[in-house]
Amino acid sequence: MTAKLLAAFGYQGDALNLPVADADRSAAFYVETMGFAEVQRTDGPARRVVVERDDVRMGLAENGRDPEQDGCAFHTDNVAALHKEFAASGAGSVGEINSETRPDGTKFDVFFVIAPDGLCFWFGEKKQSRGTE
């Protein structure tokens, strides 16, 4: 089964303005290894490339900020399939799947990817609650 991305949340609040040193090189990486497609390009004062997968977008911008201090959290419908896909495609440094409990008690199965451009990505699948026990 192929995993689907459901939503993106930028760590600094803006998933469409993630800092990278070279938007062209970064976009090529996400297209070639993580299944995104390029959907928009801006060659203004800050070059920006928008990529999309499953109607979920992120923007890669040459905006002078530090990519190692930013990234996105992505919700997915199948964290195991996505992990397997990224590990097989060479999608940067792919961490192991772990369980995580958010402050509100919501539980996720998650893994992280550190891309070659320095951006960090969290991929999580919400665990279904089993009701009261």
> Concatenated DSSP letters for 40-74?
EEE-SSS-EEEEEETTEEEEEE--SS-GGG-EEEE
- pLDDT by residue (tens digit) across 64-98? 999 999 999 999 999 999 999 999 998 879 999 99
pLDDT value of position 133: 42
pLDDT value of position 132: 45
pLDDT value of position 71: 97
**22 vs 25: CA distance, rounded Å:** 6
Selected from 3.10.180.10, 3.30.70.100, 3.40.605.10, 3.50.50.60, the CATH number assigned to the domain covering 5-126 reads: 3.10.180.10
pLDDT value of position 131: 53
Phi, psi of 35 (to 5 degrees): 80, 15
pLDDT value of position 92: 78
pLDDT value of position 44: 79
Instruction: Mark the ranges of the chain whose per-residue pLDDT is less than 70.
Output: 1, 129-133
**128 vs 104: CA distance, rounded Å:** 14
Q: What is the residue extent of each domain of the chain?
A: 5-126
